[in-house]
């Protein structure tokens, strides 16, 4: 029998570097950021897992086409400044995206390592590069093209608007961002809680754009204080509309007008923009519940439930009429919520709210559901189980079942074509609206979606606006 050389065992792939986090029992009562971030050593270790694919599928999964292998390679080499500069070429908000993007279904979902194990932690590495630059960077700005003399008004200051502003400034155009609230940032500020996206991070990303040359004007309600036509009269050459979808939806069940029931939009705005998270330093008028229910199972629902827990609730329940498989929230957000003691009442639908003689919420009547055939959304339709009625005590209910198109601006601009739901109709490849010189993108076009998808729409619109300012409509 011949001596065959033994086959060497395949080298096991390095395990994914776990993100350090606050302990659940501690963080459930504070508003400090949950993930603590990578150290330099952890970032280099995780970057070393990247296979540097010649045809990287991860890039295809990114709505703004970040050069993912490129910035990761630079982190692996210890060139953290090079990494952030690489990111800036495609992404004006890397510190935000690294925290709130659904990487698991986008870039990381396409990573080849995900087929047999864990994908490269692309989001964590993006966050690291941005955070390192903020803490240790030189402050040197990326290069800009020569001024073109063209002026662009960007309405709203959420992720799509900030992307448009960043891209157009670099191309040499003058940009003014018009924000209706007293602080810029849009949904990044009023919608996403401090423990998931610190306000300081958003402020620093906006400061970066201001240092590039963007002018930010707050308390500017376009559609009321000034119309789109007046913006053109004031000398703007193009207008981008990124006003979001901030019209709350409700359940339309009996008792929904009781005191103690409010939309997630209002609840989170009070908690975030009005600084309820700084209580008692800031005495924000926000209802505090002992037994809180949140209706819905998206990221907004998770944010609302986790906020209620941090504001002192004894029990917080997520009530959702479908099963866990249909929950639209990010896996990480569901996991964090459950770790923090939030209960999931799935396949459960409210039928009416009950209250006392003072008109205050005391409870909710519910039905158990089972899944039937798929509906228009492609998800299986919930069907009531006969005889499954039960009562749930609660003194605060937060409705987080989506939002509709904000009509404030569109009602004042009759030559903007809208679809049947009130969203602005655009060319999906360019963001052009029916009104010459006007583009739109983000939630006011698509309905409520993710930060990165809004940024992708902003990227396409910025390219189209630049072409228009250079060559014409």
Kindly report, residue by residue over 150-188, the tens digit of the pLDDT.
999 999 999 999 999 999 999 999 999 999 999 999 999
Is the pLDDT assigned to residue 377 strictly greater than 80?
Answer: no
Q: Is the full-model pTM beyond 0.85?
A: yes
- Beta pairing partners, 240: 154, 439
Q: What is the pLDDT of residue 14?
A: 85
Is the pLDDT assigned to residue 288 strictly greater than 50?
Answer: yes
Q: What is the pLDDT of residue 381?
A: 87
Q: What is the pLDDT of residue 125?
A: 98
Q: Model confidence over 18-39: pLDDT tens digits?
A: 999 999 999 999 999 999 999 9
- Output the CA torsion 109→110→111→113 (10° steps): 80
Helix (H) / strand (E) containing 240: strand 238-241
Q: Model confidence over 206-264: pLDDT tens digits?
A: 999 999 999 999 999 999 999 999 999 999 999 999 999 888 999 999 999 999 999 99
Could you please state the CATH topology (level 3) that the domain comprising 250-401 is classified under: FAD/NAD(P)-binding domain (3.50.50)
Domain ranges of the chain: 24-136, 151-246+404-471, 250-401
**Averaged pLDDT score across all residues of the chain:** 92
Considering the four listed CATH numbers 2.60.40.1220, 1.10.3720.10, 1.10.1060.10, 1.10.260.40, the one that applies to the domain covering 24-136 is: 1.10.1060.10
Which one is predicted more confidently, 374 or 420? 420
Which one is predicted more confidently, 337 or 408? 337
Q: Which of 89, 96, 157, 154 is nearest to 127 (CA)?
A: 96
Query: Cα dihedral sign for 273, 277, 279, 285?
Result: positive
Q: What is the pLDDT of residue 448?
A: 83
Residue by residue, DSSP assigns 361-397 as EEEEEEEEEEEEEE-TTSSEEEEEPTT--EEEE-SEE
Task: With beta carbons less than 8 A apart as the criterion, state whether 16 and 24 touch.
Answer: no
Question: Is 151-246+404-471's fold the same as 250-401's?
Answer: yes
Residue range 34-62: mean pLDDT, rounded:
96
The residues, ordered by sequence, that sit 6+ positions from 351 with a Cβ below 8 Å of its Cβ are 253, 254, 365, 366, 367, 389
Residue 234 burial by Cβ neighbours in a 10 Å radius (0-12, 13-18, 19+) = exposed
Residue range 303-330: mean pLDDT, rounded:
95
Task: With beta carbons less than 8 A apart as the criterion, state whether 305 and 319 touch.
Answer: no
Residue range 69-78: mean pLDDT, rounded:
98
Could you please state the CATH topology (level 3) that the domain comprising 151-246+404-471 is classified under: FAD/NAD(P)-binding domain (3.50.50)
Residue range 369-376: mean pLDDT, rounded:
86
Is the pLDDT assigned to residue 4 strictly greater than 50?
Answer: no
Q: What percent of the chain has pLDDT over 90?
A: 81
Q: What percent of the chain has pLDDT over 70?
A: 97
């Amino acid at each position: 029998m011949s001596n065959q050389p033994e086959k060497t065992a395949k080298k096991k792939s390095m395990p994914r570097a776990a993100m350090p986090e606050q302990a659940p029992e501690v963080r459930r009562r504070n508003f400090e950021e949950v993930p603590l971030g990578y150290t330099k050593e952890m970032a280099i270790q995780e970057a070393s897992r990247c296979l540097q694919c010649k045809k990287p599928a991860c890039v295809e999964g990114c709505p703004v086409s970040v050069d993912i292998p490129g910035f990761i390679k630079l982190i692996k080499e210890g060139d953290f400044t090079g990494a952030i500069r690489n990111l800036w070429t495609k992404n004006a908000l890397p510190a935000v995206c690294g925290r709130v993007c659904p990487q698991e279904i986008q870039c990381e979902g396409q990573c080849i390592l995900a087929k047999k194990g864990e994908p490269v932690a692309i989001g964590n590495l993006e966050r690291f590069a941005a955070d390192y630059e903020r803490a240790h960077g030189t402050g040197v700005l990326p290069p800009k093209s020569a001024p073109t003399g063209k002026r662009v008004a960007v309405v709203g200051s959420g992720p799509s608007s900030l992307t448009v502003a960043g891209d157009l400034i670099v191309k040499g155009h003058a940009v003014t961002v018009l924000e209706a609230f007293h602080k810029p940032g849009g949904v990044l500020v009023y919608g996403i809680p401090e423990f998931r996206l610190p306000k300081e991070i958003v402020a620093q990303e906006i400061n970066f754009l201001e240092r590039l040359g963007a002018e930010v004007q707050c308390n500017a309600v376009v559609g009321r204080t000034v119309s789109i036509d007046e913006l053109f009269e004031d000398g703007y050459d193009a207008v981008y509309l990124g006003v979001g979808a901030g019209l709350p939806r409700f359940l339309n069940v009996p008792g929904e007008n009781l005191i103690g029931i409010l939309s997630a939009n209002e609840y989170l705005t009070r908690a975030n923009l009005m600084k309820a998270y700084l209580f008692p330093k800031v005495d924000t008028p926000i209802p505090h519940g002992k037994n809180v229910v949140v209706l819905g199972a998206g990221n907004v629902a998770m944010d609302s439930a986790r906020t209620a827990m941090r504001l002192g609730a004894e029990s917080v329940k997520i009530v959702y009429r479908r099963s866990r498989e249909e929950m639209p929230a990010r896996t990480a957000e569901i996991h964090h919520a459950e770790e923090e003691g939030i209960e999931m009442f799935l396949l459960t639908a409210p039928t009416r709210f009950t209250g006392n003689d003072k008109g205050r919420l005391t409870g909710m009547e519910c039905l158990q559901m089972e899944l039937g055939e798929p509906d228009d959304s492609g998800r299986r339709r919930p069907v009531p189980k006969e005889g499954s009625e039960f009562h749930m005590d609660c003194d605060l209910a937060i409705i987080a079942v989506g939002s509709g198109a904000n009509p404030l601006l569109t009602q004042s601009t009759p030559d903007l074509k809208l679809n049947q739901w009130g969203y602005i109709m655009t060319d999906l490849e360019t963001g052009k609206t029916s009104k010459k010189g006007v583009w739109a993108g983000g939630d006011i076009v698509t309905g409520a979606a993710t930060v990165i998808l809004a940024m992708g729409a902003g990227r396409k619109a910025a390219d189209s606006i630049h072409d228009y300012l250079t060559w014409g409509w």
